[in-house]
Amino acid sequence: MTDLIHRPRRLRKSAALRAMFEETTLSLNDLVLPIFVEEELDDYKAIDAMPGVMRIPEKQLAREIERIANAGIRSVMTFGISHHTDDTGSDAWKEDGLVARMSRICKQTVPENDSYVDTCFCEYTSHGHCGVLCGTRCG
C-alpha cells in the first residue's frame, strides 16, 4: 500500500466536481428512444431490418408518445417517412410538413418531455440522397 502525501480532495470540493468525477451512471433519463413515423399509414408496419421495431402511423403518434412517457422514457427522436418527396426534400422544411407535424404532436402531447427530429433528407427526396445536392460533378 502506498502512503499518500497529498490526498486529491480538490476533486471532492463541490457537488459539480463530484458529479463530474463520479462513477458512470445510466438511467432512462439518459436515453433517447428512436421512433419511426410514417404519414398516410393506416396500421403499424414492421421494419424488417430491425426485428421488433415498427413504423408508427402518424395518426397514432400522440398515443405512442403518451405510452412512451408513461413507461418513464423522457426523450424520443422521430424519424419521418414522408410520402411527399421531391428533388430538394422540401417537405422536411415546410410548416405543415411531416417534420413540423411530428414536433408539434410530441410537444402538445407531453410538453415536459424532450423530442428530437431527424432531418436526414433521404426520406424526403425523390432521389433518396441524404443531403442537399449541388449541381457540380464532385459535390
Delimit the domains of the chain by residue range: 28-123
> CB count, 10 Å around CB of 89?
26
User: Which residues lie across from 117 on neighbouring strands?
Assistant: 78
pTM score: 0.77
Tell me: the pLDDT tens digits for 81-92? Answer: 999 999 888 999
Q: Is the pLDDT of residue 58 over 60?
A: yes
Which residues on neighbouring strands pair with residue 75, listed in sequence order? Answer: 114
Averaged pLDDT for residues 56-72? 97
Contact assessment for residue 74 and residue 109, using Cβ atoms and an 8 Å cutoff: no
